[in-house]
């Protein structure tokens, strides 16, 4: 064997060995043991999508927040000293106001909370069995900077985000809030945050890469990061100027009339978009933990109540649509109270109007007249139309906690149920269902699905939310006849003194007693007003509802003036001038 051949064989063997070794490292060997310490696998949380109003102003956005942690073994000061220094910055945000602005009671409560926090922090920092302890989550940037300035060894921060509400508690019950699920992941609850949670939350990413001893990424190493994807942003039909004005009017009205609570819904009858949805009392979603759970649900979609007289417009529309009555049909049983199924049916004010026309029955909100109408209809038609109007089922508005209301099964209806339901007793509706029913009349008999989200923007993709379930419920002729009856009710009814002059407004008052343990409480009522304006070319549909107003139990003296007050501001806002 000559020397060349020997060199050949040597080179060949070395090459094979190198290839084999490379193959081993590339495909067979797994990184184990100490190598793990140089692979950083950070979870990258995705930013949650924002929520904007119809003019692209953020109602909910994100702000920087931090998690503060302690390393008990690295502390240079005693846990108690550290706790005393940092506790004032880790208490509830509601005490963020300068001490001078707090009342004496609030100051006492703040001091007590600081004390409790100090004890809690001391205990945590003194836990020597742990290497790392979480002290607080989602603290503000301001609090973080103040703590950081103290240069306390053994404390550290991790960046995070939290929700910020530029308009503070505006539309709180509609927006919902963000809390944590059992794994500590941000999750939306109630309202839009709850309903659209999966779209808003985005997809968290992962940073898996090898790092050198200095912590810099090794680009030739294993490098497979997954970028987090920000959640989609919602663009609403809600107009914050209208919402602001409505909320202010509602708060004043609830206080003025001594009501337990109040709800106002304003919708666009041409699109079904909600322009405003206000409730009072409400809560602050930034510090939702501080409020009782009963405030979380949005009464505008979750509360059910007996509608009372505002339901008469649904019954009358039905009777007109199936042609059992005309606006000029006269009632031949309206001269006094009636006995039906062993019960006496009377009018709310004990006044009777013999031979009233259908228009006058609506104007006087005549219960006896409505029993005449329901008798003409019969149970089958009555029940079918209630369903067609959407009662007893969800409107499918994009809010989490919507309830269905209650309409008893058709087979369970008796003559007395037909009579009482004709003036809104014995069935339960939600405020949003009533708005939908009025919208049908305002929109020439056509039902549009009420909705809040107009479009969803996900990165570069823009998705228009399509209206669903559009259908004709009553004929345009019926809708026009009903509109005229409602205009007459405003102009000649109990609330005529409050109506703004020069505008044709279609509306109806309602006063429903609250059923308590099998009977109606005479002192507790739900006062309401529904309507739309301008009657000939409606720009808005509105409902105002108060629970248990104490200054007056009647809708005509509480809900109606509030409705007209808000309507006046809407006329100004839209630039609608009076015509007469």
Chain residues that interact with another protein, rule: CB under 8 A: 4, 8, 11-12, 15, 57-58, 61-64, 141, 159, 161, 164, 166-168, 170, 212, 214-220, 240-241, 244, 571-572, 575-578
55 vs 492, beta carbon nearer another protein: 55
Residue 177: phi and psi, rounded to 5, are -145, 170
Query: Nearer to another protein by C-beta: 11 or 153?
Result: 11
| Residue 249 or 374 having the CB closest to another protein | 249
Looking at the chain, the number of H-run helices and the number of E-run strands are 16, 20
Choose between 4 and 100: whose C-beta lies nearer to another protein.
4
Q: How far is the CB of 421 from another protein (least distance, A)?
A: 40
Shortest distance, position 61 Cβ to another protein, whole Å: 6
Which residues, 6+ apart, have CB-to-CB distance to 429 below 8 Å? 304, 305, 306, 307, 311, 391, 405
| Nearest alpha-carbon partner for 394 in 504, 302, 496, 286 | 302
244 or 353: CB nearest another protein: 244
Q: β-strands 233-236, 51-52: how paired?
A: parallel
Q: Nearest CA to 561 among 490, 492, 487, 498?
A: 498
Closer residue to another protein (CB): 554 or 571: 571
Q: 8 or 99: whose CB is closer to another protein?
A: 8
Cα–Cα distance between 54 and 323 in angstroms, integer? 41
Cα distances from 248 to residues 12, 244, 351, 547, in angstroms, run 88, 6, 37, 18
For residue 254, the minimal CB distance to another protein (Å) is 19
Q: How far is CA 219 from CA 68, 224, 263, 272, 365, in A?
A: 31, 10, 59, 54, 79
Question: CA geometry: angle at 571 spanning 569 and 577, to 5°?
Answer: 135
Dihedral in degrees, nearest 10, Cα atoms 177, 180, 185, 190: -40
Map residue 51 onto helix, strand or coil.
strand
Please, are residues 128 and 74 in contact by the beta-carbon 8 Å criterion?
A: no
Category of 23 on φ-ψ map: left (φ > 0), alpha (ψ -120 to 50) or beta: alpha
**Which lies closer to another protein via its Cβ, residue 99 or residue 168?**
168
Q: Give least dist CB 63 to another protein, A.
A: 5
How far is C-alpha 90 from the chain's CA centre?
Answer: 29
Identify the CA nearest to 351 among candidates 331, 334, 338, 332: 334
Helices (H), 87-214: 104-125, 141-149, 172-175, 191-195, 197-200
Q: Could you tell me the smallest distance in angstroms from the CB atom of residue 159 to another protein? A: 7
Q: Considering beta carbons, is residue 20 or 577 the nearer one to another protein?
A: 577
Choice between 38 and 133, CB closer to another protein: 38
Quick one: 35 or 216, whose CB is closer to another protein? 216
Q: CB nearer to another protein: give 20 or 220.
A: 220
CB of 450 to another protein, least distance (A): 24
Q: C-beta of 575: minimal distance to another protein in Å?
A: 5
Q: Is the CB of residue 276 less than 8 Å from the CB of residue 266?
A: yes
CB 135 within 8 A of CB 70: yes
Q: How far apart are CA 345 and CA 330, in angstroms?
A: 19
Cα→Cα distances 388→446, 449, 579, Å: 11, 13, 35
Which residues are paired to 40 by β-bridges? 209
Cβ nearer to another protein, comparing 39 with 109: 39
To another protein, the closest distance from the beta carbon of 66 in angstroms equals 11
Rounded Cα–Cα distance for residues 301 and 320 (Å): 29
CB of 244 to another protein, least distance (A): 4
CB of 62 to another protein, least distance (A): 6
The distance of closest approach from Cβ of residue 59 to another protein in the complex, given in angstroms and rounded to an integer, is 9
* Contact predicate 327/359, CB 8 Å: yes
* Least distance from another protein to the Cβ atom of residue 224, Å: 15
Taking the complex as a whole, how short is the minimal distance between the CB of residue 360 and another protein, in angstroms?
32
Which is closer to another protein, CB of 132 or CB of 216? Answer: 216
Least distance to another protein, CB of residue 546, Å:
24
Count of CB atoms situated within 10 Å of the CB of 26: 8
């Amino acid at each position: 064997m000559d020397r060349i051949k020997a060199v050949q064989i040597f080179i060949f063997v070395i090459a094979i060995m190198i290839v084999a070794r490379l193959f081993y490292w590339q495909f067979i060997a797994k990184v184990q043991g100490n190598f793990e310490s140089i692979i950083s696998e950070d979870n990258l949380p995705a930013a949650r999508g924002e929520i904007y109003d119809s003019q692209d102003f953020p109602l909910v956005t994100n702000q920087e927040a931090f998690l503060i942690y302690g390393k008990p073994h690295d502390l240079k000061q005693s846990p108690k000293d550290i706790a005393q220094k940092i506790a004032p910055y880790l208490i509830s945000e509601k005490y963020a106001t300068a001490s001078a602005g707090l009342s004496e009671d609030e100051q006492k409560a703040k001091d007590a909370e600081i004390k409790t926090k100090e004890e809690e922090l001391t205990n945590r920092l003194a836990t020597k069995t742990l290497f790392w302890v979480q002290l607080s989550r989602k603290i503000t940037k301001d609090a973080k900077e103040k703590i950081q300035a103290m240069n306390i060894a053994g404390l550290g921060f991790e960046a995070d985000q939290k929700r910020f509400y530029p308009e503070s508690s505006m539309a709180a019950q509609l927006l919902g809030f963000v809390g944590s699920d059992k794994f500590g992941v941000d999750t939306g609850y109630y309202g839009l945050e709850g309903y659209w949670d999966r779209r808003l939350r985005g997809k968290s990413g992962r940073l898996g890469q090898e790092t050198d001893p200095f912590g810099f990424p090794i680009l030739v190493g294993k490098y497979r990061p997954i970028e987090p994807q920000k959640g989609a942003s919602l663009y609403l039909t809600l107009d914050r100027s209208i919402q602001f004005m409505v909320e202010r009017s509602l708060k004043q009205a609830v206080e003025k009339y001594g009501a337990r609570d109040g709800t106002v819904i304003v919708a666009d009858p041409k699109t079904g978009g909600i322009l405003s949805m206000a409730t009072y009392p409400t809560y602050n979603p930034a510090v939702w933990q501080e409020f009782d759970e009963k405030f979380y649900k949005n009464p505008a979609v979750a509360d059910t109540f007996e509608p009372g007289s505002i339901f008469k417009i649904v019954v009358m529309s039905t009777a007109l649509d199936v042609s059992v009555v005309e606006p000029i049909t006269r009632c031949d049983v309206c001269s006094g109270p009636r006995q039906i199924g062993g019960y006496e049916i009377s009018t709310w004010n004990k006044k009777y109007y013999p031979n009233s026309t259908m228009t006058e029955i609506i104007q006087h909100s005549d219960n006896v007249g409505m029993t005449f109408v329901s008798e003409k209809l019969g149970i089958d038609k009555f029940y079918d139309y209630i369903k067609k109007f959407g009662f007893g089922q969800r409107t499918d508005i994009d809010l989490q906690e919507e309830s269905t209301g209650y309409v008893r099964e058709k087979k369970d209806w008796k003559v007395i149920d037909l009579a009482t339901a004709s003036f809104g007793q014995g069935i339960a509706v939600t405020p949003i269902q009533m708005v939908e029913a009025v919208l049908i009349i305002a929109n020439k008999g056509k039902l549009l699905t009420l909705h809040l989200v107009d479009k969803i923007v996900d990165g570069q993709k823009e998705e228009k939310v399509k209206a669903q379930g559009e259908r004709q419920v009553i004929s345009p002729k019926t809708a026009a006849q009903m509109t005229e009856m409602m205009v007459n009710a405003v102009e000649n009814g109990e609330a005529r003194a409050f109506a703004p002059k020069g505008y044709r407004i279609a509306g109806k008052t309602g006063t429903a007693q609250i059923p308590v343990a099998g009977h109606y409480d005479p002192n507790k009522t739900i006062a309401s007003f529904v309507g739309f304006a301008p009657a000939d070319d409606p720009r808005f549909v509105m409902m105002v509802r108060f629970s248990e107003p104490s200054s007056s139990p009647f809708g005509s003296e509480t809900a109606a003036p509030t409705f007209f007050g808000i309507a006046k501001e809407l006329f100004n806002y839209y630039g609608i001038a009076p015509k007469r």
